[in-house]
Amino acid sequence: MNKKKNPLLSGPYLVWTAAFIIIPLILIVYYGLTSSEGTFTWANIMEIATPENRKALWLALLLSVISTALCLIMAYPLAMILSNLKFNATGLIVMIFIIPMWMNFLLRTLAWQTLLEKNGIINMVLKFLHLPALNIINTPYAIVLGMVYNFLPFMLLPIYNSLVKMDRNVINAARDLGAGEFQTFTKIILPLSLPGVISGITMVFVPSLTTFVISDLLGGSKILLIGNVIEQKFKQGSNWNVGSGLSLVLMVFILISMAIMQKYDKDGEGAAF
């Protein structure tokens, strides 16, 4: 595209990012690096080293990696099936996978509670069929289920988009040259869809790492994730300094994981970061 800088084009969002992203960030850094009396300190950052917080961070990383992987495993085939649909209502089909997300997040998650509970709907059905009961409510499994459920569309849409406009000729050419289905997939389709995959991973990994509502509602608040810790610092003790310090640490973690991912995005065209 035109290499000339176009001030008309870059102006608005630069102003926007400065006013509503950079200034707030400076405020967080300020809070994160000062004590409640306003003197400089590393103590807020070091809070992450307490055994409780380390455990919460580790659990959050673990659960969000699992959820992201599950989302990817579920969304990729789904996106491929959808992008191969022949009839002209693909739009409709894609929308059908998005509309559930237009119901309120809290109501949806509460609905999962109603489904999964000991005397919940799923167990009522299982009992009726004389099958063993499903007891995953208030366990990490339910949290993963909640994350996958809520963030699946964020994986689906970008992958679907990168697949749907893929040049069919390239795929056909590969086939003509004798590539098997598996080879075509690993050598052609997957690499070409990589930007979409990376966008998807980012949009699923980050919110699942910082979530606290899902772990509260589906985990029975028995499992403390780093998102819950930060939430508590801000809410319970109104301790903004420690809260900001911890979220700075979390940001660093996210940036590192993005950087690792960027390595796999060879063109340096990283959609993520």
Partner 1 sequence: MKRFLSLTLSGALLLGALSGCAKIEDAKDSTEAAGTETAAAAGGKVVVYNWGEYLDPEVIDMFEEETGIKVVYEEFETNEIMYPKVAAGAISYDVVCPSDYMIQKMIENDLLQEINFDNIPNLKNIGEEYLSWSEEFDPGNKYSVPYCWGTVGILYNKAMVEEPVDSWDILWDEKYKDNILMQDSVRDALMVALKKLGYSMNTDSEEEISQATQLLIEQKPLVQAYVIDQVRDKMIGNEAALGVIYSGEAIYTQRENPDLEYVVPKEGSNLWIDSWVIPKNAQNVANAEAFINFLCRPDIALMNFDYITYSTPNKAARELIEDEDIRNSTIAFPTSDMLEGCETYQYLGDETDNIYNTYWNKVKSS
Partner 2 sequence: MRKALQRIYLVFIFVLLYAPILTLIILSFNASKTRAKWGGWTAKWYVSLFQNSAIMDALYNTLIIAVLSATIATLLGLTAALSLNSMRRRSRTIILGVINIPMLNAEIVTGISLMLVFIALGNFLTQFGYTIQFGFWTVLIGHITFNLPYVVLSIMPKLKQLNRSTYEAALDLGASPMRAFFRVVLPDIMPGVFSGFLLAFTLSLDDFVITHFVKGPGFETLSTKIYTEVRKGIKPEMYALSTLLFVSVLVLLLIVNVKPKEKNK
35 binds partner 1 per the rule CB under 8 A: no
Candidates 49, 99, 129, 177: give the one binding partner 2 (CB under 8 A).
Answer: 99
269 binds partner 2 per the rule CB under 8 A: yes
Candidates 19, 52, 103, 256: give the one binding partner 1 (CB under 8 A).
Answer: 52
164 binds partner 2 per the rule CB under 8 A: yes
Touching partner 1, residues 86-115 (CB under 8 A): 91, 95, 113
Candidates 28, 55, 66, 101: give the one binding partner 1 (CB under 8 A).
Answer: 55
Interface size with partner 2, residues (CB under 8 A): 93
Candidates 16, 221, 252, 264: give the one binding partner 1 (CB under 8 A).
Answer: 221
Please identify, using beta-carbon distances, which residue of 99 and 177 lies nearer to partner 2: 99
Please identify, using beta-carbon distances, which residue of 158 and 270 lies nearer to partner 1: 158
3-state secondary structure the chain: CCCCCCHHHHHHHHHHHHHHHHHHHHHHHHHHCECCCCCECCHHHHHHHCHHHHHHHHHHHHHHHHHHHHHHHHHHHHHHHHHHCCCCCHHHHHHHHHHHHHCCHHHHHHHHHHHHCCCCHHHHHHHHCCCCCCCCCCCHHHHHHHHHHHHHHHHHHHHHHHHHCCCHHHHHHHHHCCCCHHHHHHHHHHHHHHHHHHHHHHHHHHHHHHCCHHHHHHCCCCCCCHHHHHHHHHHCCCCHHHHHHHHHHHHHHHHHHHHHHHHHCCCCCCCCC
Which positions touch partner 1 (CB under 8 A)? Answer: 36, 51-53, 55-56, 91, 95, 113, 117-119, 138, 216-217, 220-222, 224, 228-229, 232-239
